[in-house]
Structure 1
Amino acid sequence: MRLYCEIRGVGFPILCLHGHPGSAQAMAVFTESLSDRYQTLTPDLRGYGRSRTPLDFELQDSLNDLVELLDTQNIERCLVLGWSLGGILAIELALRHPDRIAGLILVATAARPVGSHPPVTWPDLINTGLASLINLAIPGHPWVIQTLGKRSLYRYLLQQHSSGAYHRLAKEGFWAYLGTSKQANRALNRALAQRYNRLPNLGAIAAPSLVLCGAQDRHITAQASLETAAHLPQADSRCYPDTAHLLPWEIPDQLLQDIHQWLEQQTDALGLKDSWAG
């Protein structure tokens, strides 16, 4: 299917892939900065946001959608930045279409995803719902964070319960959750049931990679992310203390600084010389 896609900036293209639940809007923390120097393409994946469908699908169908998107935009080669589920799709693109992927930036993701999330309780769900709705009305209010946020499921998504992170939750996270279809939920659950593991195949990825993870991530553990980095032939990695799965919203400045620095260091390997001229 044709995906809804937000395109910003000019320069070497970076395909930015959101997680689950997610949307193109949730990747703004990256595109707001990267589009100053690169062209960022940020789709709503199949079943999410403005790319919803009434039909059932498998996650692998998203790969065909993304290749079609690149073809439609006449992009022969790009970087891929993937957060969580988006990182898994990025890995798959690099394995299936190596000539088209110049490099990978993998955030809070893994080729063999392992979680350590505790069982979800009814108080967790109630507090999360209340925190989300009240935070929508008064984003980042200290009372919301202290009274509800830290007693909700957000305590497993965040370690630094900052006002900035809760503003992102209100502006982007809440709507991404509402925009995630039941078809997308079913596709993810079927994929998880198959115990996805691409570690044995990572040696085939020649593209340079950057792996970024939060030390307290309970959804995809830091150990799983670092295991992925260890299996990639050309990978740099960073593990940030006191952060979790939503680390781009916890430490955006540090994360973006490290991404820009890595891109500058990889200019020759990624073939980005022309992009710096702009």
Structure 2
Amino acid sequence: MPTSAARAALAPTIAYRDVLSDDGTMLRAWTNDPEGRLDGPTVLLCNGLGTNPLHWPALLRRDCGVRVVSWNHRGVSGSDRPRDPRAVRIENFVEDALSVMDHFDLERPVVMGWSMGVNTAFELAVRHPERVAGIFAVAGVPGDTFATMLGALHLPHPVARAVTVTLARGLRLGGWGLSPVTTRYPFGARSLEALTKVGFIGRVPDPELAAMAMAEMLSTPVEWYMHLALTTSRHPRVPLSRVQVPATFVAGTHDILAGSRDMGTAARRMPGARYVRLRASHFVQMEHPDRVHQLLRELIDRVDRA
């Protein structure tokens, strides 16, 4: 479940639903339209791994004009862990996305993805093209994500993958000792400032909300988070030739978790795709909420005209 601070922050704008995925895993789904009165288009959000609604400040505004439907990943913030711990692949997340879409009666929405959620969005479009009207990809690549990390160091893809996978394995092994500390850590303004100084996240318009987002993220045990990361890291590049919908890629120039150059390459391989680079870290939608939201609305308009 979300932490008490996160629950209080989200109470006016977020409603939760329990949704059963095809393999029997109970998911905690959510929408920014608690009363079902929001007048505007509906999009499906495939969120970043282990993240939460607080990472999308523009979508929490009552006047955002976009109805969002999403869910928390397996074993994260109220969603159950699957009976089979191996069932946390991108393919499983695609099935979760379909279950959530069916629950909310979404036939063919624009699909948003952030970080590893971009993998899910593109895999959904390849496997079920009839269910995806467009793709809004934020700080993520359509497969083989770990090979694009540490882009600022200009490492060859195999080296970047080896380094990041090894680090994730180490954290998974050591997670049992770290989690009692991290899950209780009082993440606040000073912690956010420390992450800003080292360049992990840039300056944000709403530091208090950002700190709550990070605190909620830390509520997931390290070993489970790294298990999710390592399993999804095996997801290969998707065949972009099979994705025939309007798309927008939004990259952060200082992103160390998803290569902006690789996002640009993917965009160039999709006819008509738009590629936008913003001066930001991996948390581009938190640092530039208005601009990212504007880009989302522009993609929705393109889809409506298509």
TM-score of the aligned structures, taking structure 1 as reference length: 0.77
CA 1:253–1:87 in structure 2 vs 1: closer, same or farther (change >3 Å)?
A: same
Match of 1:275 in 2: none
1:6 maps to which of 30, 38, 48: 30
Match of 1:221 in 2: 259
Letter in structure 2 aligned against 1:229: A
**SS where residue 82 of structure 1 aligns?**
strand
2:88 maps to which of 58, 64, 72: 58
Say whether 1:73 aligns with 2:113: no
CA 1:185–1:195 in structure 2 vs 1: closer, same or farther (change >3 Å)?
A: same
How far off is 1:188 after superposition?
A: 2.4
User: Matches of 1:4 and 1:105 in 2, distance apart?
Assistant: 22
Runs of 5+ unmatched residues, structure 1: 121-125, 270-278
CA 1:191–1:255 in structure 2 vs 1: closer, same or farther (change >3 Å)?
A: closer
Match of 1:149 in 2: 195
| CA RMSD of superposed structures (Å) | 3.0
Alpha-carbon deviations, 1:51-101, whole Å to 9, x = none?
Answer: 131630232212112112212222211111111011110011111110110
Match of 2:288 in 1: 251
How far off is 1:28 after superposition?
A: 3.5
Superposed, 1:187-206 pairs within 5 Å as: 187-192=228-233, 194=234, 196-198=236-238, 201-206=239-244
Match of 2:71 in 1: 43
2:129 maps to which of 90, 98, 121: 98
Whether the 8 Å contact between 2:49 and 2:73 is mirrored in structure 1 is: no
User: Matches of 2:221 and 2:305 in 1, distance apart?
Assistant: 38
Alpha-carbon deviations, 1:203-254, whole Å to 9, x = none?
Answer: 111110110010111111111111121122331110012x110111111122
Match of 1:174 in 2: 215
How far off is 1:163 after superposition?
A: 5.9
Aligned length: 247
User: Matches of 2:80 and 2:50 in 1, distance apart?
Assistant: 13
Superposed, 1:228-243 pairs within 5 Å as: 228-241=266-279, 243=280
TM-score of the aligned structures, taking structure 2 as reference length: 0.70
User: Matches of 2:235 and 2:43 in 1, distance apart?
Assistant: 29
**SS where residue 49 of structure 1 aligns?**
coil
Runs of 5+ unmatched residues, structure 2: 1-20, 154-162, 168-177
Letter in structure 2 aligned against 1:185: M
**SS where residue 43 of structure 2 aligns?**
strand
Letter in structure 2 aligned against 1:149: L
1:16 maps to which of 45, 58, 69: 45
CA 1:255–1:163 in structure 2 vs 1: closer, same or farther (change >3 Å)?
A: closer
Percent identity between matched residues is 18
How far off is 1:174 after superposition?
A: 1.5
Alpha-carbon deviations, 1:187-207, whole Å to 9, x = none?
Answer: 320332x36222xx1111111
**SS where residue 297 of structure 2 aligns?**
helix
User: Matches of 2:126 and 2:113 in 1, distance apart?
Assistant: 14
User: Matches of 2:40 and 2:131 in 1, distance apart?
Assistant: 16
CA 1:54–1:169 in structure 2 vs 1: closer, same or farther (change >3 Å)?
A: same
How far off is 1:181 after superposition?
A: 6.9
User: Matches of 2:62 and 2:230 in 1, distance apart?
Assistant: 32
